[in-house]
Structure 1
Amino acid sequence: MSVSLPADRPVGRLDRYLVLGAVSLAGLVLPLSFTGPPVAIPAIAAELGGSPVALNWITNAFMLAFGSCLMAAGTLADTYGRKRTFATGILAYALVSLLLALAPNLLALNLLRLLQGVAAALALAGGNAALSQEFHGPARIRAFSLLGTAFGIGLAFGPSLAGWLVQSQGWRAVFLSSLAIAVLASAFGVPRMRESRDPEARGLDWPGCFSSTAMLSLLTTGLLLAPERGWSDPWVLAALIGALALLALFVRVETRAARPMLDLSLFRLPRFVGAQLLPIGTGFAYLVLIIVLPLRLIGLHGYSAIEAGALMMALSAPMLLVPFAAALLSHRLAAGVLCGGGLWLAAAGLVWLGAIAGQAGAAALVAPLLLIGTGAAVPWGLMDGLAISVVPKERAGMAAGVFGASRVSGEGIAIAVVAAALAGLLQWQLRALAPDAGAALGQAAQRLATGDAAHARELLPGLDAAALRHGYERAFAWLMYLLAAVTAAIAWGAYALLGDASAHEATPQSATSHAGAACADAP
């Protein structure tokens, strides 16, 4: 690896854009690691075997490690260097991806997925913090919009790429593709990245790191287990209660730390809080549909995986252009107007999608899906930059880690809540169709929620396929209306908190003295 450029040395435009390209490649490959491997699970099971629970941990292990380590990774970037953290993360990610492609058994695969999640957290937090040092003003907005676009493309198109790789090359090619992208990011970006760190860092806040990582680990575990075990399961309750207890401990530790890993006074800044709302809004409006809609189309309507994937392109295609267009508009329109307006558009699309449930064919779904995808893509390209721009540049790693952790946690909460809500709505609808089914109703609802209509019919033999589909469509319509209401409420909150992009809030006294300058640099 080449020697770091001095932090005060001017960097040419080509070097800056190569750094942006490298971080964007990391932003592309990380969601691929989340959405791609689940597609390969049947092929992995055929070769390596394993129980359904063990196979689910191919996904869960990555999400657990990734979500739990993001906040600590941001502090590491500020303390020991953003380039060093990014380089360590992306090189470790490449190495682990190679080992995953060579995994001899399922246990080794799952353990390696844990390590891959840790490496991904280092790469994302270090890369985001490094970008904030290289770009300023409108250029920073455009840079983060490209990063958001890359992240959205990886999230939206990962399953299609993984499916093609599994079919043509085998499941190990999914991990080799991640290796190839990580190597490109390392080769072109790392040598041109300047080293930078927080000059006032006093060493790592170990109590804060341990308590935050443990808290996020328990929260992520509870959210991952809830859909399959139920919210009343003792292990789920223990994980969630433990997360709350550790959150209280973390807050206590951080209020007493001389140089905390999370400056809690940032939560007095409306723009910082507003930025944390945005991934929750896009989670409820957009991300949950990536999971729910294919299950509905394939399991209830008999679409093939390719047909369902083609229809989902209407939801994902706006991610290719809209985030960058939003960045270009951000110097003319306030951040609150753009982000709130985008989420309101998505809410309108959700209402539209609910209104036509069960009444129209596939072609009628294209327009509301395009509207939802367009609305969600507006804040998607702005929220990373908004979250980082409100803090001093010296603490960009902290902001990247906090936002990354809130993003993963918020999206996890959205997925878990929607899974539970859909199962509850289905049980309500099925009870009207089969009032004497008893305990089988709950099991059938869970099966239908995952698109398993065949087993649902076995549990409710008195209902034919048309009745089950009717009950599902009614439940789906109500779910869309609920998601629209939540999205609209978050849109209003984002509009109110983000406000006028030119308005600078007073920085709390506990923040560093450079915060005012950081706010002035906000998009």
Structure 2
Amino acid sequence: MIRSLGKKKQSSTTSRKIFILLAICCVAVATPFSFTGIAVGLPAISNTLGGSPIQLNWAINSFLLTFGSTLMAAGTLADNYGRKRVLLIGSIIYGMFSVCLAFFTINLVWFDLLRAFQGIGAAAAFAGGFASLSQEFEGQQRLRAFSIVGTSFGIGLAFGPIVAGWLIATFGWQAIFVLTATLAVIAFFLAMVFMTESRDPEASGLDWKGAISFTLALSLFTFGIIQGPESGWNHPFVVTLLIAAVVLFVAFVMIERSSERPMLDLSLFRFPRFLGAQLLAVAPSFAFVVLLVLLPIRFVGIEEMDEIAVGKIMMALSAPFLILPIASGYMTRWFTPGIICSIGFAISAIGLYWLGHFTDGSEIDTLIGSLLTIGVGISLPWGLMDGLAVSVVPKERAGMATGIFSTSRVAGEGLVIAVVTAIFSALTSGNIEKVAGKNASLVAQRLVTGDIKEALVLVPSVEKADLHQVYSKGFSTLMFLLCGITVLTALFVFIFLRKEVDTVEE
């Protein structure tokens, strides 16, 4: 009888944990889908709402900016006031603004503002959910849970363009936000019913000075990077934005060093493994994530393919995420996570170099082979990253660790997308400057955002085929640059993370 009751209790606990994991996986899928899905929809959104190139850039970056800049604050709030509470509040905000984006969007500026508020809700739900994992799971279960949730994030990231392409072609771009609202509702009810509340007993409140200075610094820096190609890098407004961002970043570091309970424990950066974990967070941005934005824009806007066809091509980049992130967890029986991660980035670098040879009119088989190589490479470290991120801090600071890692990952994605887009625009502008003259910058921005029709209006004397060639040349140069960065990343990840885990003690 006692044994039977014990089995029932164990079964009940297991079921509860499965539903908790499902709730957090919903958040983990919805969050990256919120910006990779939009990349496919930019041409359709632009046709409906109009807007300038910089406003189209903000359609992606406004979400990434608020999400990335508020994650650390959200992680601290979760530790202080309850992980479940922050997850529930975040799900409500995220779902509410998803509905607004689907049904109550007036113009592109309004769309961008709604996206910013959606990002704040996503940050709260994401930080609260990830911090809860360390409290709900122990030992090997905890590592598997982080691996599953990390894989879910990767699936949302990688398959966002595919799902979004089908939704747009079938129902219109508004369906993207109906789906994210649905995932938010599922996460809310599962967490409300099955999750138990937890918090850090030693927490002493939110570091408001640190949160405000960091958020403003990241916002101004991203704004400056996005505004630079349009206004010019020597424009007083752009220069002021970038200088102000640097000053605020310095102020943030000084605030955190003097705080008794900082939002960001700077002492953690003395440990090589912690530095390696942050590099892991940022590396996929330039080795993979930028392609989820640039390729759909190229295929739909420049190559003028339909969204469903684009989704089929993007499958080559995304398919490895169905198997390899989980498989890499089993590979740790024979290799350290650092070695697996560095090998993965080296494979991705090969794929980027291969993709750099994809020009207008190239065989589609060549493109698919390069995308598959990149997908295989980036999938190997993906399932290991989240577990590594929290393995170097005490359990009670899981919210902080999650916040730092997620901030590095998402803020890195936002900044890298902004920086890469600016570099791409500069490369394209340089290639067309001889024939476009003073309009070169405007033409380049239209091409980079996939608006080839408006680019032709700006330079009526230039043939469409010539614009394709200009775009392809800039794209190839960009891929070779990203390849070099990824090779260096593979080397540094190997140096920092090749040894076994050494937990940081307080």
Aligned to 1:516: none
Task: Quote the offset at 1:464 in angstroms.
Answer: 3.9
Q: Which residue of 1 aligns with 2:264?
A: 262
Contact (CA 8 Å) 1:326, 1:378: kept in 2 or not? yes
Q: How many residues align?
A: 496
Does structure 2 conserve the Cα–Cα contact (< 8 Å) formed by 1:100 and 1:172?
yes
Paired residues of 2:169 and 2:308 also in contact (CA < 8 A): no
> In 1, distance between residues paired with 2:385 and 2:230?
31
Deviates more, 1:317-326 or 1:42-51: 42-51
Shift of 1:36: 3.4
Deviation at residue 331 of structure 1 after TM alignment: 3.6
How far apart, in 1, do the equivalents of 2:361 and 2:44 lie?
Answer: 36
Shift of 1:394: 0.5
The within-5 A match list for 1:364-375 is 364-375=366-377
How far the C-alpha of 1:293 sits from its partner, in A, is 2.2
Judging by fraction of residues, say which structure has more helix: 2
Q: How does 1:356-367 map to 2 (within 5 A)?
A: 356-357=358-359, 360-367=362-369
- C-alpha change, 1:258 and 1:416, in structure 2 (3 Å) is same
**In structure 2, how many angstroms separate the alpha carbons of the residues matched to 1:194 and 1:72?**
21
Whether the aligned pair in 1 keeps the contact of 2:73 and 2:206 (CA below 8 Å) is no
**What is the rounded CA distance, in whole Å, between the counterparts of 2:43 and 2:459 in structure 1?**
27
> Which residue type is aligned with residue 91 of structure 1?
I
1:313-367 deviation digits (Å, cap 9, x = unpaired):
1111112222111122224311110111100000011112224545731122111
RMSD of Structure 2 on Structure 1 (CA): 2.9
2:66 pairs with 1:65: yes
1:114 to partner: Cα distance? 3.0
Change (3 A) 1:154 1:337: same
Contact 2:287/2:352, CA 8 A, preserved across alignment? yes
Cα distance in structure 1, aligned partners of 2:50 and 2:230? 20
Q: TM-score, normalization: structure 1?
A: 0.86
Secondary structure, aligned partner of 1:195: coil
Change (3 A) 1:420 1:210: closer
Alignment of 1:40-439 (within 5 A): 57-103=58-104, 105-106=106-107, 109-357=111-359, 360-430=362-432, 435=434, 438-439=437-438
Aligned AA (1:13): T
1:479-512 CA deviation, whole Å, 9 max, x = no partner? 222111000101111111112124x26x4xxx62
Deviations 1:447-497 (A, max 9, x none): 443344455555556654444444443333322221110001011111111
3-state DSSP class of the match of 2:356?
helix
1:35 maps to amino acid: T
Amino acid at match of 1:193: M
Are the counterparts in 2 of residues 225 and 236 from structure 1 also a CA contact under 8 Å?
yes
* Cα displacement string for residues 85-113 of structure 1 (whole angstroms, at most 9, x for unaligned residues): 11221233233333444426347655443
Q: How does 1:457-496 map to 2 (within 5 A)?
A: 464-496=463-495
Which amino acid in 1 is paired with 2:26? Answer: L
- 8 Å Cα contact 1:72-1:213 kept in structure 2: no
Contact 1:166–1:174 (Cα < 8 Å) also in 2: yes
Separation of aligned partners in 1, 2:464 and 2:385: 43
Q: State the distance in 2 between where 1:456 and 1:51 align.
A: 12
In structure 2, the CA distance between the partners of 1:175 and 1:412, relative to structure 1 (3 Å rule), is closer
CA distance in 2, matches of 1:216, 1:401: 15
Cα displacement (A) at 1:259: 1.3
SS in structure 1 at match of 2:500:
coil
Q: Distance in 2 between matches of 1:289 and 1:459?
A: 27
Change (3 A) 1:223 1:139: farther
Measured in 2, the distance between the counterparts of 1:45 and 1:297 equals 16
CA distance in 2: counterparts of 1:162 and 1:47, whole angstroms: 17
Amino acid at match of 1:216: L
In 2, Cα distance between equivalents of 1:281 and 1:490: 7
Q: Find the counterpart in structure 2 of residue 27 from structure 1.
A: 28
The sequence identity of aligned pairs, in percent, is: 47
Please tell me the residue identity of whatever aligns with 1:371: T
Query: Do the aligned partners of 2:162 and 2:310 also contact (CA within 8 Å) in 1?
Result: no
Q: CA deviation at 1:143?
A: 1.8
Q: In structure 2, do the counterparts of structure 1 residues 286 and 190 end up closer, same or farther at CA, with 3 Å as the change threshold?
A: same
- Partner secondary structure for residue 439 of structure 1: helix
User: Which range moved further: 197-206 or 59-68?
Assistant: 59-68
1:61 deviates by 3.4
Shift in Å at residue 77 of structure 1?
A: 1.0
Deviates more, 1:91-100 or 1:403-412: 91-100
Q: 1:430 to 1:65 in 2, by over 3 A?
A: closer
Q: Unpaired segments of 5 or more residues in structure 1?
A: 1-8, 513-523
Alpha carbons of structure 1 residues 268 and 415: separation in structure 2 relative to 1, 3 Å: same
Identify if the C-alpha distance between structure 1 residues 314 and 40 changes in structure 2 by more than 3 Å, giving closer, same or farther. Answer: closer
* CA separation of 1:332 and 1:19: change in aligned 2, threshold 3 A: farther
Normalised TM-score (structure 2): 0.88
Q: Displacement, 1:430?
A: 4.2
Q: Secondary structure at the match of 1:296?
A: helix
- The aligned counterpart of 1:14 is 15
Alpha-carbon distance in structure 1 between the residues aligned to 2:300 and 2:427? 20
Matched-pair contact (CA < 8 Å) for 1:141–1:327: no
Distance 1:462 1:53 in 2: 25
Alpha-carbon spacing, 1:380–1:47, altered in 2? closer, same or farther (3 Å): same
Seen in structure 2, the aligned counterparts of structure 1 residues 87 and 445 have a Cα distance that, compared at 3 Å, is: closer
Distance in 1 of aligned mates of 2:181 and 2:191: 15
SS in 2 for 1:250: helix
| Residue of structure 2 in register with 1:518 after alignment | none
Question: Residue 113 of structure 1 aligns to a residue in which SS?
Answer: helix
